[in-house]
């Protein structure tokens, strides 16, 4: 009888008592994204722009692609008017991503949190980092610098009241983000870019720009430059 009982137990195991069941570990990054009804996302044309640039397209070719979406083309031109004429064609794809982050249709996520100010600051970070970088890595420095603060927009959108409270009392540092949300804008921004399919090196620069010594060796120097540009 005991053998029969054990066979039945093995074939029909009882559920573990509630207090013994495994609890899924809390994931602060997943929580941030779960709170957002509509994530920012790049235009469908981004992939075409990126592919065209990789294939060696001219600036005129890329502009022609952008003009298929007049609203996007106008946003890119207006958002990046101070630097648009200075940029090489290889950087236009980053501008499309920048529009998705800093010019969403819903506007500013938090009172007092200006997307226009965030965009202006990100442009300055990108220009500063690319100026300091060796010629062979200037494009990566520009892209990483432009997008390194994208996680701030996501945090402000997912936790508007908490983010507004922190911003009202001073600078929003990584330490204060960790205390409030359990995660920093660097990790959140990198996760957003992963969801978008952005090149790995750009993602790594964004993820480690405030912790460059932990970055993969291939992007460590650029992550450090971007982090220093944030402090300028």
C-beta of residue 93 within 8 angstroms of C-beta of residue 46: yes
pLDDT of residue 17: 54
pLDDT, tens only, 180-215: 999 999 999 999 999 998 999 999 999 999 999 999
Q: How many domains does the chain have?
A: 2
Residues 125 and 213 grouped into a single domain: yes
Verdict on whether the full-model pTM lies above 0.85: no
What percent of the chain stands above pLDDT 70? 88
Residues 64 and 151 grouped into a single domain: no
CA distance 86 to 182: 39
Residues 73 and 144 grouped into a single domain: no
Contacts of range 37-41, beta carbons closer than 8 Å, 24 or more positions apart: 38/106, 39/154, 39/192, 39/195, 40/100, 40/101, 40/104, 40/153, 40/154, 40/157, 40/192, 41/100, 41/196
State both tokens at 219: 């992007």
Q: Is 30 a member of any domain?
A: no
Range of the domain at 77: 44-99
**DSSP for 71-128, written as a single string:** HHHHHHHHHTHHHHTT--GGGHHHHHHHHHHHS-TT--SBTTB-HHHHHHHHHHHHHH
Q: Is 201 a member of any domain?
A: yes
Residue 73 binned pLDDT confidence (cut-offs 50, 70, 90): confident
Q: Is 145 a member of any domain?
A: yes
Strand-pair partners of 110: 113
pLDDT of residue 12: 56
Among 49-58, 101-110, 124-133, top mean pLDDT goes to: 124-133
Domain CATH for 137: 1.10.3210.10
Residues 184 and 205 grouped into a single domain: yes
């Amino acid at each position: 009888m005991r053998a029969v009982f054990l066979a039945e137990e093995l074939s029909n195991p009882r559920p573990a008592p509630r207090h013994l069941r495994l609890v899924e570990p809390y994931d602060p990054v997943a929580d941030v994204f779960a709170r957002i009804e509509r994530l920012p996302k790049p235009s469908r044309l981004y992939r075409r722009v990126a592919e065209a640039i990789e294939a060696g397209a001219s600036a005129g070719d890329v502009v022609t692609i952008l003009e298929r979406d007049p609203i996007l083309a106008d946003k890119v031109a207006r958002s990046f008017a101070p630097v648009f004429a200075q940029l090489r064609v290889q950087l236009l794809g980053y501008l499309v991503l920048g529009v998705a982050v800093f010019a969403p249709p819903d506007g500013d996520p938090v009172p007092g949190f200006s997307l226009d100010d965030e965009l202006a600051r990100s442009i300055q970070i990108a220009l500063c980092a690319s100026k300091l970088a060796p010629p062979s890595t200037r494009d990566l420095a520009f892209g990483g610098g432009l997008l390194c603060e994208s996680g701030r927009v996501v945090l402000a959108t997912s936790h508007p009241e908490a983010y507004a409270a922190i911003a009202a009392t001073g600078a929003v540092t990584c330490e204060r983000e960790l205390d409030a949300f359990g995660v920093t804008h660097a990790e959140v921004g990198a996760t957003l870019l992963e969801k978008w399919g952005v090149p790995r090196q750009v993602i790594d620069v964004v993820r480690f720009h405030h912790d460059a010594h932990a970055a993969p060796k291939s992007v460590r120097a650029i992550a450090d430059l971007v982090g220093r540009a944030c402090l300028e």
